[in-house]
């Protein structure tokens, strides 16, 4: 059989998963009666809720007897290194670009990686149905980006199509009257080289990703480079340091549509998932011949952000979680390391705090969210950027940032980014909105999103992408407001909340259990304040008791996990349980807090 292996890559939300959906539908993957939800590839519960792809996924379609393996990749910057690894398993990419937004930071990142690997991208100008679409302008912008990234003359001569992923339409020119994706399928057959399929030599393959199965254990996902892989085959695993280990392959799976199918063997060119090698890792070589050469090692990017995970020891500890002990948290993190390639965890001897490092706020937040859904209760510290030293110089990560904001809010945004040590690189105004490009320390971005949303009344977009390490730019003030802290244990009252409202933004509604040292709001002043939120109105007669219920208070700010992580200071923790997200001071008692401040 002939194979074509492609990945679909783009900036977040430009429409990858929607287009893959349409490709699956039109190639007859689903039966007539099957009810198919939108973005069926976003199968994980968190993905469906957030409307984004978190995990790369493989699927395949059959078109004119050719098996097209498609990898749908995540567009969010935190998962960029996963995309980079996947590019090693495919022969071409579909580079999708929104016909209005044009190339964005993650477009640039994934395109750069593709060009470096010598791939020849097929460009898709997507969402041309949008009233604001400007497809021709966007083609020019993409061409300029290819030039900027040093594309070779062959790469620069890229094929492009116009698409409406949502309607399953692709066309070669804007005036074509196409009704389906035929032009896209034909372009793939024509432009993507058939996967090299030398089956006359001993087998070699390389995992680009990991998966976990409760029965089969750790599995390797990768492409069979040459030869044929068979169940029961004795293989040699070659590690990057050159050491070799004998292993045996017990199960092999390929993809048919969205289904994982168990097979007895798979040929060179196909993308497979194999079991039987318990400690297999990304970038190692699996070879049939014990003396085989190793394939070029795949580098896994280092983490950029770290935080501590620990047992919840707040006064409400253990009330809501099913798994609450240090041992349970430790085991869960060890299991996560089986498949979460970009993650690092330090397990200190006998300690009860685990240092968990990942590729960004979203990467870590997704893990915490997943854990709380499984019934875990834990406490986490403020995320911190990971820096390193080059000689005597402290180096910190710098990100490339693109913001689109309404013209009226550009002033405040420029001021805020400047205060966070951002360097403006470009500024373009168009149709009442402004696009600003910055280089800014990752530190400066932490905690910015909430403020940015408020400053642009929810109309701005901000995307960022790791650019480089550079010398530390000096201190950045992260939060300019203090916390409103409860001084008592008890239940909040409408009366107390009503009087506290004017002092800041509250996170709690009336009738909620709180404890001394719990952060119940954000002050409008720089200093923190300790307050009484359980106070009852002195009753003068019996009828007044119902008055408390009648008080109208503004709805509290919903502190979800990401907002809480963004908000907390170094002397605060986020308490995470299956039911609640609370913020607390590390030192619960006011006297302890004051003592800690002085030291």
Ligand X SMILES: Nc1nc2c(ncn2[C@@H]2O[C@H](COP(=O)(O)OP(=O)(O)OP(=O)(O)O)[C@@H](O)[C@H]2O)c(=O)[nH]1
Q: CA 119 to CA 387: how far, in whole Å?
A: 33
3-state DSSP helix/strand/coil percent for the chain, to nearest 5? 25, 35, 40
Measuring CA to CA, which residue among 425, 548, 578, 414 is closest to residue 108?
425
Paired tokens of 450: 């909430």
Strand partners, 491: 513
Q: Which of residues 63-92 bind ligand X (CB under 6 A)?
A: 74-76
Task: Compute how many residues bind Mg ion; rule: CB under 5 A.
Answer: 3
Residue 57 touching Mg ion (CB under 5 A) = no
466 three-state secondary structure: strand
Rank residues 16 and 593 by Cβ distance to Mg ion and give the closer one. Answer: 16
Task: Please tell me whether residue 53 binds Mg ion under the rule CB under 5 A.
Answer: yes
Q: Say how far apart CA 226 and CA 267 lie, in whole Å.
A: 8
Q: Which of 16, 421, 443, 585 binds ligand X (CB under 6 A)?
A: 16
Q: How far is the CB of 126 from Mg ion (least distance, A)?
A: 12
Residue 166 site contact among Mg ion, ligand X, none (CB < 5 to 8 Å, cut-off depends on kind): ligand X
Cα–Cα distance for residue pair 121/107, rounded to 1 Å: 12
Of residues 133 and 446, the one with the C-beta less far from ligand X:
133
- Binding string to ligand X for residues 162 to 201, with x set by CB under 6 A, is what? --xxx-----------------------------------
**Residue 340 interacting entry, from ligand X, Mg ion, none, C-beta within 5 to 8 Å by type:** none
Considering the rule CB under 6 A, would residue 52 count as an interface residue with ligand X?
Answer: yes
Residue of 6, 9, 17, 286 interacting with ligand X (CB under 6 A): 17
Q: According to the binding rule CB under 5 A, does residue 328 interact with Mg ion? A: no
> By the 8 A CB rule, do 223 and 261 touch?
no
Q: Which is nearer to Mg ion, 16 or 479 (CB)?
A: 16
Nearer to Mg ion, 74 or 517 (CB): 74
14 binds, among Mg ion, ligand X, none (CB under 5 to 8 A by kind): ligand X
Token pair, residue 515, equals 């404890």
Token pair recorded at residue 364: 């870590």
Q: Which is nearer to ligand X, 94 or 280 (CB)?
A: 94
Nearest one of 117, 42, 107 to 72, comparing CA atoms: 42
Residue 521 exposed, middle or buried by CB count within 10 Å (0-12, 13-18, 19+): buried
Could you tell me if 503 and 531 are in contact, meaning their C-beta atoms sit under 8 angstroms apart?
A: yes
Residues near ligand X (CB under 6 A), total: 22
Alpha carbon distance 122, 160 (integer Å):
6
Q: From CA 247, how far away is CA 287, in angstroms rounded?
A: 10
**CB of 506 vs ligand X, minimal distance in Å:** 32
* Identified binder of ligand X from the candidate list 127, 171, 255, 479, rule CB under 6 A: 127
Residue 17 within binding range of Mg ion, rule CB under 5 A: yes
Q: Which residue has the tokens 């070799």?
A: 244
Measured from the CB atom, is 11 or 223 closer to ligand X? 11
Q: Which is nearer to Mg ion, 83 or 512 (CB)?
A: 83
Q: How far apart are the first and last CA of the chain?
A: 70
Name the nearest CA neighbour of 294 among 302, 303, 306, 285. Answer: 285
Report, in Å, the least distance between residue 162 CB and ligand X.
10
Least spacing, CB of residue 325 vs ligand X, in Å: 35
Residues that bind ligand X (CB under 6 A): 10, 12-18, 39, 51-53, 74-76, 126-127, 129-130, 164-166
Residues that bind Mg ion (CB under 5 A): 16-17, 53
């Amino acid at each position: 059989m002939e194979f074509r292996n492609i990945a679909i890559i783009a900036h977040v939300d430009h429409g990858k998963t929607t287009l893959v959906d349409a490709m699956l539908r039109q190639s007859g993957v689903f039966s007539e009666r099957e009810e198919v939800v939108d973005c069926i590839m976003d199968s994980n519960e968190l993905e469906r809720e957030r409307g984004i792809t978190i995990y790369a996924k493989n699927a395949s379609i059959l078109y004119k007897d050719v098996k097209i393996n498609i990898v749908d990749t995540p567009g969010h910057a935190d998962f960029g290194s996963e995309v980079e690894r996947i590019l090693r398993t495919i022969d071409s990419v579909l580079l999708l670009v929104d016909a209005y937004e044009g190339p964005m930071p993650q477009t640039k990142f994934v395109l750069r990686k593709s060009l470096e690997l010598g791939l020849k991208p097929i460009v898709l100008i997507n969402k041309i149905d949008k009233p604001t679409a400007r497809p021709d302008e966007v083609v020019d912008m993409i061409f300029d980006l290819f030039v900027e990234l040093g594309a070779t003359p062959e790469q620069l001569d890229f094929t492009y199509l116009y698409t409406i992923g949502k309607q399953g339409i692709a066309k070669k020119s804007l005036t074509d009257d196409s009704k389906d994706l035929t032009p896209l399928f034909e372009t793939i057959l024509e432009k993507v080289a058939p996967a090299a399929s030398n089956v006359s030599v001993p087998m070699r393959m390389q995992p680009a990703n990991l998966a976990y199965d409760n029965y089969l254990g750790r599995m390797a996902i990768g492409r069979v480079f040459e030869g044929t892989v068979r169940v029961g085959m004795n293989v040699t695993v070659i590690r990057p340091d050159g050491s070799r280990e004998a292993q045996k392959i017990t199960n092999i799976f390929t993809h048919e549509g969205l289904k994982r199918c168990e097979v007895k063997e798979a040929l060179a060119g196909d993308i497979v998932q194999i079991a039987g090698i318990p400690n297999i890792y990304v970038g190692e070589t699996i070879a049939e011949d014990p003396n085989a050469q190793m394939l070029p090692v795949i580098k896994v990017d280092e983490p950029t952000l770290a935080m501590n995970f620990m047992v919840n020891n707040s006064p409400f500890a253990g009330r809501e979680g099913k798994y609450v002990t240090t041992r349970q948290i430790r085991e869960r993190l060890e299991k996560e390391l089986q498949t979460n390639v970009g993650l690092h965890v330090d397990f200190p001897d006998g300690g009860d705090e685990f240092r968990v490092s990942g590729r960004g706020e979203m990467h870590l937040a997704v893990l915490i969210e997943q854990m709380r859904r499984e019934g875990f209760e834990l406490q986490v510290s403020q995320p911190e950027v990971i820096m390193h030293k080059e000689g005597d110089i402290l180096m910190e990560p710098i990100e490339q940032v693109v913001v689109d904001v309404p013209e009226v809010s550009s002033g405040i945004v420029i001021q805020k980014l400047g205060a966070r040590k951002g360097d403006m690189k470009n500024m373009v105004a168009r149709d009442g909105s402004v696009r600003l490009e910055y280089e800014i320390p990752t530190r400066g971005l932490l905690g910015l999103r909430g403020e940015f949303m408020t400053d642009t009344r929810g109309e701005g977009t901000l995307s960022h992408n790791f650019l480089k390490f550079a010398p530390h730019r000096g201190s950045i003030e992260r939060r300019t407001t203090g916390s409103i802290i409860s001084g008592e244990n008890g239940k909040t009252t409408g009366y107390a909340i009503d009087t506290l409202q004017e002092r800041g933004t509250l996170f709690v509604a009336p009738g909620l259990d709180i404890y001394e040292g719990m952060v119940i709001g954000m002050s409008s002043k720089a200093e923190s304040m300790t307050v009484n939120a359980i106070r009852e109105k002195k009753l003068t007669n019996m009828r007044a008791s119902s008055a408390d219920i009648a008080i109208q208070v503004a709805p509290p700010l919903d502190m979800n996990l990401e907002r809480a992580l963004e908000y907390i200071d170094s002397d605060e923790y986020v308490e995470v349980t299956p039911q609640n997200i609370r913020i607390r001071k590390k030192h619960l008692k006011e006297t302890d807090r004051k003592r800690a401040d002085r030291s």
